[in-house]
Structure formats: structure tokens, C-alpha cells
Structure 1
Amino acid sequence: MQFHYIAADASNKTREGDKEGKSTEEILAFVFSQGWKPISIKPLKQVIMVKQGTLFERVTLQDKIFLFKYLSLMLKVGTDLFKAIDVLLEDTDKPLMRSLLLEIKTNLERGNSLYVSFENHPDIFSPIVVNLLKAAEASGNLEQSMEDISATYAKEAEVKGKIQSALIYPVLLLVVASGVVGLMVTFVLPKMSTMFEGSDAKIPLFSLIVIRVGQFLNANIVWIVPLMLVLIGGLAYFFIKVPAGQKALDTIMRKTPLVKTLLQKIALRRFASTFGSLLKAGIPFIQALEITADAVGEMEFRAAILRIARENIAKGTSVADAFRKETVFPKVVTNLISIGEKSGHVEEILGTLAKFYEDEIDSALKTLVAIFEPAMLLFIGFIVAGIAISVILPIYQLVNQYS
């Protein structure tokens, strides 16, 4: 542990420095050994930060829900934070979670605030969580704040779960259909082509193209499959991890009608939920808006929220008028915020809006899947029909030739 000491030497000159030691007594002994007179010895508040996990190790959304829900529950029943973390350490098997809990405990023992450990990991915990914890520690409302954070994560997990559940069947259908078509083109057609090429029948151009593609795939399958996997992985990395790819994907999504509507509703739910939680925690209005801007996930909404905060409310414009200037916000949002501002219950209004958009997301997902599934079936049907025609036409000509 590091200590900062101030002492005076024999000529009454001040000596000051930092030294590692197990206790104040050890540093005191060092000062006396130098022939100095101690003036002050204080432990330094060092921030401990654990190393991140491996490529395949991460803190999941469920881990975060459990962490904050458990800590909130333990504080509610009167258990102190140190004891709660010790119990969690005994029950946790994941190395990264254990390291994170040890970091929190060590920083608390060194006199640092709770939020500091979470602030060290912006890739795991958003600024929203950090600011909620900071405000909760200042107000002494840590138990409720942790419960709110857990509830926010739970809602996020619920929305993600609904989206994933809605997409499982269409994606599975696409994968299976692609596999069947690939097998037909790569293995079935080349074998049938030997029958056509052994005859004098003239193969139609369309059938010839399909057969040649199948023969090419069959002859080069060894390197085509790895190449396709690398290409798919590269595109996934580009669109998910690379900023330019993220921007391109965002542009494509925002120009796709039904997907655009769904993304807007998800962004509005995040806005209402996040902004309401921050205001409830006592964070100033403009600061809460700036933090919320980074949480909505849509660049258009982010820019609008920052304009509301910095160019309108900061200059004296009323909250309702500031929101009305931004056309990205539907009238239901601006009208309810106006009512909340007049009644002094903006947080409650935002909670109602968050619940409203949760239901809207469900409705938008059902509509998207209802259109996506038949459209995909129709597309796959066209491909299968094309392959079937490419086989039937030469057979028909072959039959006519011999008859």
C-alpha cells in the first residue's frame, strides 16, 4: 500500500514523498530511521483495475442483471457492501466476474468511491451506470439506484430476447434453404449434366449456365467453402466493429422502411427509460440529456438530443418547446413531456413512455416477421423453381428428340 509522508529533517527542512508499506507504523519507522521528525503520514487512494478477460470471456447482460439485483437485495436487508461482495465472490465461478468483484472490494478498502471501479470499464459499463452510481452515493440512495440499474438491464435483455426469438425461424429457414439449394447446384446438377452432354440435344442457355456454375462449384468446393466463411466473417466484423462499417449498416437500416420504424421505436424506448432513470437519480437535466444521447443508439436521435440540451434548454428555452423543434420525436413524446414539465412529473411521464414503446416494439416485430417470412419463402421458391426449370428444359428436349 502506498503512503504519502511529510517530515522535517535536522535543519527543519521539509521532506516529502511516497513510499510503499504495509502500515502507517512501517512508514513511521522509515521516517525515524532517516533522522526526520514526522509531520503527516496518509495512505494514498490508489485505483486498482483488473485486466480484461480473454477473447471468449466477457461479462454478459445476465451477469450485470444478477450483480446489481443481488447487491440491491443485500443492501435492502441491511448487509454491508463488503459482506455482499464477499458472498458474491464465493458464488461466482467466472474468472472475469471474480476479478471485477475483487477490484470493487479493493478500491472500496482503499477509500475510493464505488463508481470508480465501474468507470474503469467503459466497454462493460456505460456512462449511464457510472453516473447513476455516482449520484446514488452522493444522495445515499444506493440500494434503489442499483435496483433501477438491474431493472433497466432486464428490460434491455427482454427487448433483445424478443428480437432474437422473432428472427430465429426466418434465419433458420434461410440457412436450411441455402444449404439445400447449394447441395442441389453443387452435387446433383453436375451428375445430371453428364446425361445431357452425352446426347446430341441442344441444352438451353439458361440451363447451361446453371450446370456450368454447378460444375465449377463442385470442382472447387475445397477452397470455395473456406473463402465464403472468411468473407462472411470479414463482413460481420466490418459491420459490427469498424466505425465505417457501423455507419454504413446504420444508413442501410435507416433506409429500410419496416426496419427503420423498429429501430426508431427501440431508440425512443431507450431514450425514455434512460432519461427517466437519470432524472430520478437527481442528475441535472442538461447533463442527463447529454448522457442519454450516447445511449439511444441512433445517430439522428443523438444529434437531436444534444441540440435540445446545448442549443435550446441551456439558453433558456422550455423543455416542451425544445423537443417540439426536433421532428424526430413523435407528437406523443413532445406532448407528454410538455404535460410532465407543467405538472413537475417528467420522470413518471418518461416511465409511461418507456412502457408504451415496449408494446410498440412488440407490434413492430410481429409486423416485420409477418412480412419477412412469406417474402423469404417466395424468394427461395423462385430460386428452386429456376433450378427445376434448368433441369426440366433439357429433359423435355431430350424426350422430344428420341420421340
Structure 2
Amino acid sequence: MPQYEYNGYDKAGARVSGSITAESLSAAQQLLKKQGLLLKSVKEEQLNQQAALFSTDKIGIADIEFLTAELSLLLDSGLKIDKGIELLKSANKKPSLARLLNKISTELRSGKQLSQVLAGFPDYFDALYINLVSIGEKTGQLSDVFRQLASDLAFRRDLQKKISQALTYPMVILLVCIASVVFIFNYVVPNMATMFERQQDLPFYTTLLLSTSAWLQQYQLILLIVLVLLGVLVVQGRKRPAFQRRWQWLAIRIPVVSSAVLQVERIRFNGGLAMMLQAGVAVDQALDLANGNIKQAELRAEMQIAIGKIKRG
């Protein structure tokens, strides 16, 4: 359904703006009037598809961390959650984050709880985040929950940065190696091939080297196209559950990758469990919720068996 941008005034006379999803313009106007808004303008949101395709204005973990930390501060100062989000929306200069806040603000004004609204954006808020927000709403400690979540997001952001830095050097070395091999087979080996044109009974490895060079020169463009297509298929396939399951199964069986995956999953589980216990959640429920924070399906299933044994004593 299309998105509609609106401007108007609420019952208190304060100016409000945002976006709403509706089947038509008239349906959007009726929904907004039911919320008690005096409308100034309502128009369909125009999206630039070309700009969206190449845009780098994406919401990352740093943006969610900033949003969470700011909400904690605003709630500590006595501001209500809906007013806090309105304030952040008006002060934020990043278009993608402003649009997200717009949608959250609109859903909140329709009477939904914050945890219910955030559940509608799984790309930005995971199950642990939503569960903790729900607990904070029930216990009245939402500002404390946001503070813990902001700290956890900061830790995850630093971890991602360290992993990226650790992978940068091996990737550079790999690219240099590939470039060197391509250069050798395209320029060095062909120039040396003239030395062996009239010789018979060449060693097997020399014949293999010359044949590989000739094959690469003839088919390297096709090989490059195939590799690019495979890369595109992998990027697109990452969003499909079947591909994710196969990759997860493979990742925990590759010697070097498996240790990194296990370490990250331990951090996710232990970090989630610590925050749940700090929020006052019972141990059995905290274990279940923290287990949902594990991404690897196979590890999550094994952990569920262990949790079942713990519950049985």
C-alpha cells in the first residue's frame, strides 16, 4: 500500500507531521481524522527509485544505538515516549531514520504499545530488543531498559568494527594474490611460452602452466561474468531462509569460520541473558528469550535441549 505524508495539528494545537500507510488518499484522511488531527495537507509520498537504488542512507547499528541512547535520556528527563520520538524526529537530519521515526510515531498515535510497533520493523529491532522493551513497559523501567540496550548496541558496534578491521588485511592480501596470478598468466607466462614452442616432452607442470595461461586468456571474460553473477546470486540468496539454513550449516563446520561464529553466538546469548536478568526476568524465561537471540538454528536447537534439562532440574 502507498505511503501518505501529512501535516496538521493535534488536539492541543501542536503542529504534527508524519506518514501513514493506507489504500487511498481518502482512506488516509479518514484514519488521520479518527486520531483527532486537524489536517493541513495530505499527499502521496514520492519515492525516487533511482536514488533509492544507489543510496547509502541506510539505517545501521550506530543509528539504532543513537536512537536508543537518546530515548533513555529523554525518558529520564520526564518526557513521554511519544513526545520523545516526535522530538527526535524533528531534530534528526538523516532522512531514512527520520522516516522510521515518522512511522513509529504514527503507529504510537494509533494506540499501539511501543513494543508492538517495533515488532513491525524486524530489520532494525531484533527479538531481544523488543522483549526487553515489552518488559520495560510492564515494569515502568523503560529508561533503564533503553540504557542497557544502548550499552549492548555500543558493544556490538565495537565488535563489528574489530571484526571488519581484522578481516581487512587478509582481504587485501587475497586481492593482491589474485591480481598477481592474473598478471602472471596474462603477461609473464605468454612471454615465456615462446621459449618452449619448439621443445618436445615438456614436464607435466610446465605443460599445465602453459595450458592454464592459454585457457585463462581465452575465457577470462566469461569467468569474470560468471563470478559476478555468482556474487549477485549470493547477495540475493542471503535473504532466503533456505540459503541461510545451508550457509549456517556450512559456517559451523569450516575450521576457521566456525570458531568465530561460535564466539559471536556466545556473546549474543550471554549478553542477552545478562540484560534479561538485570531487568528482573525469571531465569527460565530469561534463558528462553536469550536463546532467541542466537542466529544459528542448529546451535539454537541444541541450546533449547540444554534449557529443557535445566527446567527439569
Task: State the TM bucket, normalised to the shorter chain.
Answer: 0.7 to 0.9
Assess, with a 3 A threshold, how the Cα gap between structure 1 residues 206 and 308 changes in structure 2: closer, same or farther: closer
Assess, with a 3 A threshold, how the Cα gap between structure 1 residues 189 and 162 changes in structure 2: closer, same or farther: same
Residue of structure 1 in register with 2:303 after alignment: 305
Assess, with a 3 A threshold, how the Cα gap between structure 1 residues 24 and 251 changes in structure 2: closer, same or farther: closer
Give yes or no for contact 2:136–2:145 (8 Å, CA) kept in 1: yes
Give yes or no for contact 1:293–1:301 (8 Å, CA) kept in 2: no
CA distance in 2, matches of 1:200, 1:83: 84
Between 180-189 and 254-263, report the one with greater CA deviation. 254-263
Match for 1:261 among 242, 259, 264? 259
**Are 2:176 and 1:176 aligned?**
yes
Give yes or no for contact 2:245–2:297 (8 Å, CA) kept in 1: no
Give yes or no for contact 1:85–1:101 (8 Å, CA) kept in 2: yes
* Equivalences for residues 220-259 of structure 1 within 5 A: 220-235=219-234, 237-238=236-237, 240-259=238-257
Residue of structure 2 in register with 1:399 after alignment: none
Could you say which structure has the greater relative contact order, defined with CA pairs below 8 angstroms and 6 or more residues apart? 1
CA distance in 2, matches of 1:286, 1:145: 20
Residue of structure 2 in register with 1:84 after alignment: 84
- % identical equivalent positions: 25
> Deviations along 1:222-278, whole A, 9 cap, x unmatched?
33222222224434554x444444333333332344543333232222211101212
Assess, with a 3 A threshold, how the Cα gap between structure 1 residues 119 and 200 changes in structure 2: closer, same or farther: closer
Residue of structure 2 in register with 1:216 after alignment: 215
> Deviations along 1:144-183, whole A, 9 cap, x unmatched?
1111111111111122221111111111101111111111
CA distance in 2, matches of 1:21, 1:262: 49
* Equivalences for residues 392-403 of structure 1 within 5 A: none
Residue of structure 1 in register with 2:270 after alignment: 272
Assess, with a 3 A threshold, how the Cα gap between structure 1 residues 236 and 176 changes in structure 2: closer, same or farther: farther
CA distance in 2, matches of 1:113, 1:234: 39
CA distance in 2, matches of 1:68, 1:108: 16
Query: Residue type matched to 1:94 in 2?
Result: K
Residue of structure 1 in register with 2:186 after alignment: 186
CA distance in 1, matches of 2:35, 2:284: 44
Give yes or no for contact 1:275–1:288 (8 Å, CA) kept in 2: yes
Give yes or no for contact 1:145–1:281 (8 Å, CA) kept in 2: yes
Residue of structure 1 in register with 2:203 after alignment: 204
Q: Unpaired segments of 5 or more residues in structure 1?
A: 1-18, 27-50, 318-403
Assess, with a 3 A threshold, how the Cα gap between structure 1 residues 283 and 25 changes in structure 2: closer, same or farther: closer
Assess, with a 3 A threshold, how the Cα gap between structure 1 residues 312 and 258 changes in structure 2: closer, same or farther: same
* Equivalences for residues 23-62 of structure 1 within 5 A: 58-62=58-62
Q: CA RMSD in A?
A: 2.9
Q: Unpaired segments of 5 or more residues in structure 2?
A: 1-29, 38-46
CA distance in 2, matches of 1:75, 1:105: 16
Give yes or no for contact 1:286–1:310 (8 Å, CA) kept in 2: no
Give yes or no for contact 2:193–2:210 (8 Å, CA) kept in 1: yes
Residue of structure 2 in register with 1:22 after alignment: 33
Q: Highest Rg: 1 or 2? A: 1
CA distance in 1, matches of 2:36, 2:275: 46
Q: How many residues align?
A: 270
CA distance in 2, matches of 1:217, 1:304: 46
CA distance in 1, matches of 2:31, 2:230: 53
Assess, with a 3 A threshold, how the Cα gap between structure 1 residues 214 and 258 changes in structure 2: closer, same or farther: closer
Secondary structure in structure 1 of the residue aligned to 2:122: coil
Assess, with a 3 A threshold, how the Cα gap between structure 1 residues 79 and 60 changes in structure 2: closer, same or farther: same
* Equivalences for residues 116-127 of structure 1 within 5 A: 116-127=116-127
CA distance in 2, matches of 1:196, 1:61: 58
Offset of 1:84 from its aligned partner? 2.8
Offset of 1:195 from its aligned partner? 4.0
CA distance in 1, matches of 2:34, 2:240: 48
Query: Residue type matched to 2:191 in 1?
Result: K
Give yes or no for contact 1:290–1:305 (8 Å, CA) kept in 2: no
CA distance in 1, matches of 2:167, 2:66: 26
Q: TM-score, normalised by structure 2?
A: 0.75
Query: Residue type matched to 2:117 in 1?
Result: S
CA distance in 2, matches of 1:161, 1:289: 28
Q: TM-score, normalised by structure 1?
A: 0.60
Assess, with a 3 A threshold, how the Cα gap between structure 1 residues 264 and 200 changes in structure 2: closer, same or farther: closer
Give yes or no for contact 2:64–2:124 (8 Å, CA) kept in 1: no
Residue of structure 2 in register with 1:41 after alignment: none
